[in-house]
Chain A
Amino acid sequence: MATTGDTAHPLWEVFTQPPGGGPHEHAGSVHAPDAELALQNARDVYTRRGEAVSLWVVPSGAIVASTPEDMGPFFDPGNDKAYRHPQFYKVSQGVRVF
Chain B
Amino acid sequence: MGGAACERVRWYFTDMPYEIHEKKGSQPKDKAPAPAEDPKRLAEFEARIARDETIEPKDWMPERYRRQLVRMMSQHAHSEVVGMLPEGNWITRAPTLRRKMGLLAKVQDEAGHGLYIYCGTETLGVDRHDLIVQLLNGTAKYSSIFNYPTLSWADIGTIGWLVDGAAIVNQTMLAKASYGPYARAMVRICKEENFHKRQGYEIVATLARGTPAQKAMAQDSVNRWWWPSLMMFGPHDKDSPNSGDLSKWGIKRKSNDELRQRFVNLTVAQAKAIDLTLPDPELRFNETTKDWDFGAIDWDEFWRVVGGDGPCNRERLAARRKAHDDGAWVRAAAEAHAAKHAAHRGAPSGAAA
Contact B129 A7 (CB under 8 A): yes
Contact of A1 among B58, B115, B188, B321 (CB under 8 A): B321
Q: Shortest beta-carbon distance, A50 to chain B, in Å? A: 12
Question: Which chain A residues lie closer than 8 Å to B108 at the CB level?
Answer: 48
- The yes or no answer to A12 lying at the interface (CB within 8 A) is yes
- The yes or no answer to B349 lying at the interface (CB within 8 A) is yes
CB neighbors of A among B335-353 (8 A):
335, 337-339, 341-342, 349-353
Question: Which chain A residues lie closer than 8 Å to B188 at the CB level?
Answer: 28
CB neighbors of A among B122-170 (8 A):
122, 127-130, 132-133, 136-137
> Closest residue to A33 on the B side, CB-wise?
B338
Contact A59 B112 (CB under 8 A): no
Most buried by A among B59, B132, B353: B353
Looking at chain B's contact residues, the main secondary structure is: helix
Tally A-B pairs: CB < 8 A.
100
- The yes or no answer to B284 lying at the interface (CB within 8 A) is no
Given contacts A6-B132, A10-B353, 19 further A-B contacts (CB under 8 A): A1-B136, A1-B325, A5-B332, A6-B129, A7-B128, A8-B335, A10-B351, A28-B119, A28-B185, A28-B188, A29-B122, A33-B337, A34-B350, A35-B350, A36-B341, A37-B334, A37-B337, A59-B351, A67-B58
- Chain A residues at the B interface, C-beta cutoff of 8 Å: 1-12, 28-38, 44-45, 48-49, 59-62, 65, 67-68
Q: List 23 A-B contacts (CB under 8 A).
A: A3-B133, A4-B328, A4-B331, A4-B332, A5-B328, A7-B128, A8-B335, A9-B334, A12-B351, A28-B115, A28-B120, A29-B119, A30-B119, A33-B335, A34-B338, A34-B350, A35-B349, A38-B351, A45-B116, A59-B350, A59-B352, A60-B352, A68-B60
